[in-house]
């Protein structure tokens, strides 16, 4: 899950940083574009901006594009984001997969849909084949009360 080589650890830390930046922008997107989030955080309508939310979505997509480019060599050589991760997904892979899956289940939004994120879409399909995926993600364990459903995010 984590490389022993300091260079590979630094590359992984960089990947995690892009995921964190995307997650921050994703929160701005959802607060401004998903009424449930604004209500949960008690943000009045006067402080919300649909255009700002749309801009935040484009921003997190840009962070994902940077992540995809920064990890291109490793994606090509191993199929994973995390370098030297013992032949399987590493910490950066798990972090991004959790982010993508949570957004799918909670908001019915696929955050890797941008046409320029093809490598990350391929990576995600590969991630869904790891041994623990089915038990953790496809057996109905995600609570229904956490699902906002189709149409819960304004476009």
Residues 29/81, Cβ–Cβ less than 8 Å: no
Kindly give the interhelix angle for 6-33 and 91-107, rounded to the nearest 10 degrees: 10
| Cβ atoms of residues 28 and 61 within 8 Å | no
DSSP secondary structure, the chain, as one string: ---SSHHHHHHHHHHHHHHHHHHHHHHHHHHHH-HHHHHHTT--GGG--HHHHHHHHHHHHHHHHHHHHHTHHHHHHTSSSSTTSTTS--HHHHHHHHHHHHHHHHHS--TT-SGGGHHHHHHHHHHTTSTTHHHHHSSS-S-GGG---TT-S--
Distance of CA 46 to the CA centre of its chain: 29
- Tallying the residues shown for the chain, one arrives at 155
Q: What's the pLDDT at 24?
A: 97
Question: pLDDT truncated to tens, each residue of the chain (155 aa)?
Answer: 677 789 888 999 999 999 999 999 999 999 999 999 999 999 999 999 999 999 999 999 999 999 999 999 999 999 999 987 677 899 999 999 999 999 999 999 999 999 999 999 999 999 999 988 888 777 777 767 677 777 778 77
What the chain holds in terms of domains, given with CATH numbers, is: 6-144 (1.20.1050.10)
CB 5 within 8 A of CB 84: yes
Q: What's the confidence (pLDDT) of residue 54?
A: 97
pLDDT, position 47: 96
As a whole number of angstroms, the distance between CA 135 and CA 36 comes to 29
């Amino acid at each position: 899950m984590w490389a022993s080589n300091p260079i590979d650890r630094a590359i992984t830390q960089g990947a995690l940083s892009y995921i964190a930046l995307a997650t921050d922008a994703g929160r701005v997107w959802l607060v401004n574009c998903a009424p449930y989030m604004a209500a949960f955080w008690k943000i009045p309508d006067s402080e919300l901006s649909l255009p700002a939310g749309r801009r935040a979505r484009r921003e997190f997509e840009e962070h994902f594009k940077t992540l995809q480019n920064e990890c291109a060599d490793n994606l090509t050589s191993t199929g994973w984001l995390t370098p030297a991760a013992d032949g399987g997904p590493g910490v950066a892979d798990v972090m991004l997969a959790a982010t993508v899956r949570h957004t799918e289940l909670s908001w019915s939004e696929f955050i890797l849909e941008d046409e320029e994120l093809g490598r990350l879409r391929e990576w995600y399909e590969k991630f869904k084949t790891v041994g623990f995926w089915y038990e953790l993600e496809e057996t109905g364990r995600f609570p229904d009360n956490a699902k906002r459903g189709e149409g819960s995010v304004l476009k």
